[in-house]
């Protein structure tokens, strides 16, 4: 065994685009990497782990390779998503050539675990999990000659897996998928990187706050109330509800605020109002701990479905009490037929058309002094030039009526991500044949078979939405470029 296996580098693979302050991508420190680092530190103090974090949202592939040269890690863990997989592979190959053990994790790894192990000899482990802390710590233990924590036996939940090589074959180990209750240590993120996230955040969003903010990510829950019938583009690996203790949420906030000055937290929970009971528990824990976020100058941003905002009448009041100041909406379309085709499942007898539900939720949030982000997905099943026009008009109406509350508008083409219902519509249950689908070709085929629009029409709609949003808009048309 090499003696540098306690030197661990944790990477989020960059996308192929130029590194830039696009949307939220480069505005928040990488919670996933800080959490993995903390899990390893907590599990393996005996090996005195040295951990470096390199986040692809602010570092290019070349910069990350240079960091590998300088740090000389014995283990490199790389988080890959479908749009970042190509760069992730380049980093993996480089790390392997330098003698490091390579571990892949995150959504793309979870979906393509077997194919990656088959096709990429330079990858030693693949973690298939919604949360990789326990499996990754296990790998670090194994590589350092520790017996490691034995995979805990079934808790009835979805199982996480670690794939690894055994001679010429591939073996796997199962773990129960469970949430690690720990306070992530952002001290692993280089100080100069922390400054860059804050700079990027304030460049984009300073105008929506009374003073500059120090951004932070937080996560105490995952899953979505729509998880049983997800939106057709949703490629999230596991949408089942997995809720952390309410007290723990506030413990993480207090720690990040005191140690790193973070005062604007984005909770990455897929849909914050999925469980009303959980939100009430959060507020109860907040009161019991005597915390008043507004008085302490702490703000939150959450993701929410628009129909949940309307269906849960007290939602906006709860948000205010917690000092949620921004809500992130997947508005998707301004066309009722397309919203139905996307599987937004907004038919909750609210007595409104789906596009009206979207509009009213935005109105409620804006009228109570919060800001919002809204994203559109263009090219759903049955999309036509007319429905694209309705989406552009929806964006225009929102921008005109709530100009001061609109923080960000995103527009992207529907990309049938593996694991999403749209992928299944295209390919049925046919087994995945490659670890790297050509997403540009997949999008082209999708448009051809399931819509009446071309990529050119979608680009045109994106440009129009971009013009309406002005500097508060981004069009993600180079998502897979
Ligand atoms: S896209 Fe959002 S709302 Fe739709 S299923 Fe996924 S997490 Fe839920």
Determine the Cα angle at 52 with ends 49 and 58, to 5°: 160
Asked if residues 272 and 239 have their Cβ atoms less than 8 Å apart, the reply is: no
Q: Half-sphere exposure of 308 toward its Cβ, with a 13 Å CA cutoff? A: 24
Q: Output Rg (C-alpha) for the chain, integer angstroms.
A: 22
Alpha carbon distances (Å) from 257 to 183, 206, 298: 12, 19, 8
Which residue's CA is the closest to the ligand 1 atom numbered 6?
234
Ligand 1 atom with the shortest distance to the CA of 239: 7
Mean pLDDT computed over 52-75: 97
Query: Atom 4 of ligand 1 has which residue's CA nearest to it?
Result: 231
Residue 376 Cα, ligand 1 centroid: separation in angstroms? 13
What percent of the chain is modeled with pLDDT above 70? 92
Give this prediction's pTM: 0.92
User: How far are the Cα atoms of 107, 133, 251, 303 from residue 24, in angstroms, in the given order?
Assistant: 19, 24, 24, 13
pLDDT digits (tens, 9 = 90+) for 191-209: 999 999 999 999 999 999 9
Tokens of 414: 């529907």
Is 231's C-beta closer than 6 angstroms to any atom of ligand 1?
Answer: yes
Give the pLDDT confidence of 208-264 residue by residue, as tens digits: 999 999 999 999 998 887 777 889 998 887 788 888 999 999 999 999 999 999 999
Instruction: Decide if 332 contacts 375 (C-beta within 8 A).
Output: yes
Residue 133's pLDDT is what?
A: 87
pLDDT at 59: 95
Considering only residues 19 and 121, tell me which one the structure prediction assigns the higher pLDDT: 121
- Is the pLDDT at 155 greater than 60? The verdict is no
pLDDT score, position 19? 36
Q: Dihedral of CA 97/98/104/106: which sign?
A: negative
CA 349, distance to chain mean position in Å, is: 30
Q: Using the predicted structure, report yes or no on whether residue 432 has a pLDDT greater than 90.
A: no
Task: Give the end-to-end CA distance of the chain in Å, rounded to a whole number.
Answer: 40
Decide whether any atom of ligand 1 lies within 6 Å of the 236 Cβ: yes
Show the domains of the chain with their CATH numbers.
7-176 (3.40.50.2300), 209-475 (3.20.20.70)
Q: Give me the pLDDT at residue 20, please.
A: 40
CA of 79 to the centre of ligand 1 (A): 21
């Amino acid at each position: 065994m090499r003696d540098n296996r306690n030197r661990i580098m944790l990477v989020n693979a960059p996308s192929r685009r130029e590194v830039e302050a696009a949307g939220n991508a480069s505005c928040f420190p990488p919670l996933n990497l800080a959490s993995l680092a903390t899990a390893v530190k907590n599990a393996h103090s005996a090996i005195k782990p040295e951990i470096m974090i390199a986040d692809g949202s602010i570092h290019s592939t070349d910069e990350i390779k240079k960091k590998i040269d300088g740090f000389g890690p014995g283990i490199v863990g790389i988080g890959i998503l479908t749009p970042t997989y190509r760069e992730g592979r380049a980093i993996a190959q480089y790390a392997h050539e330098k003698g490091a053990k390579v571990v892949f994790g995150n959504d793309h790894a979870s979906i393509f675990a077997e194919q990656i192990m088959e096709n990429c000899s330079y990858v030693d482990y693949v973690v298939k999990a919604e949360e990789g802390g326990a499996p990754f710590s296990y790998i670090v233990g194994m590589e350092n000659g520790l017996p490691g924590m034995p995979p805990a036996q079934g808790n009835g939940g979805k199982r996480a897996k670690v794939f690894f090589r055994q001679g010429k074959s591939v073996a796997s180990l199962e773990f129960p998928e469970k949430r690690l209750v720990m306070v992530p240590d952002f001290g692993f993120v280089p100080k100069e990187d922390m400054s860059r996230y804050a700079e990027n955040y304030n460049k984009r969003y300073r105008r929506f706050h009374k003073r500059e903010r120090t951004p932070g990510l937080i996560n105490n829950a995952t899953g979505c109330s729509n998880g049983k019938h997800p939106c057709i583009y949703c490629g999230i690996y596991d949408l089942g509800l997995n809720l952390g203790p309410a007290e723990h949420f506030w413990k993480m906030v207090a720690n990040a605020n005191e140690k790193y000055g973070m005062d604007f937290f984005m909770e990455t929970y897929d849909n914050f109002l999925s469980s009303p009971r959980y939100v009430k528990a959060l507020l109860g824990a907040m009161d019991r701990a005597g915390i008043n976020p507004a008085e302490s100058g702490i703000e939150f941003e959450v993701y929410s479905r628009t129909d949940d905002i309307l269906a849960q009448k007290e939602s906006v009041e709860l948000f205010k009490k917690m000092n949620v100041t921004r809500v992130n909406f997947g508005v998707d379309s301004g066309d009722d037929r397309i919203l139905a085709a996307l599987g937004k499942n907004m038919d909750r007898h609210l007595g409104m058309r789906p596009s009206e539900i979207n509009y009213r939720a935005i109105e409620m949030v804006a009228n109570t002094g919060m800001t919002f982000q809204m994203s559109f997905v263009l090219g759903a099943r049955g999309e036509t030039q007319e429905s694209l026009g309705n989406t552009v008009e929806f964006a225009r109406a929102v921008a005109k009526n709530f100009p001061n509350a609109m923080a960000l508008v995103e527009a992207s083409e529907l990309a049938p991500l593996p694991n999403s219902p749209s992928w299944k519509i295209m390919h049925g249950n046919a087994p995945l044949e490659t670890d790297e689908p050509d997403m540009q070709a997949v999008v082209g085929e999708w448009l051809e078979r399931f819509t009446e629009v071309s990529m050119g029409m979608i680009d045109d709609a994106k440009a129009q939405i971009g013009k309406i949003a002005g500097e508060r808009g981004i069009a993600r048309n180079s998502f897979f470029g």
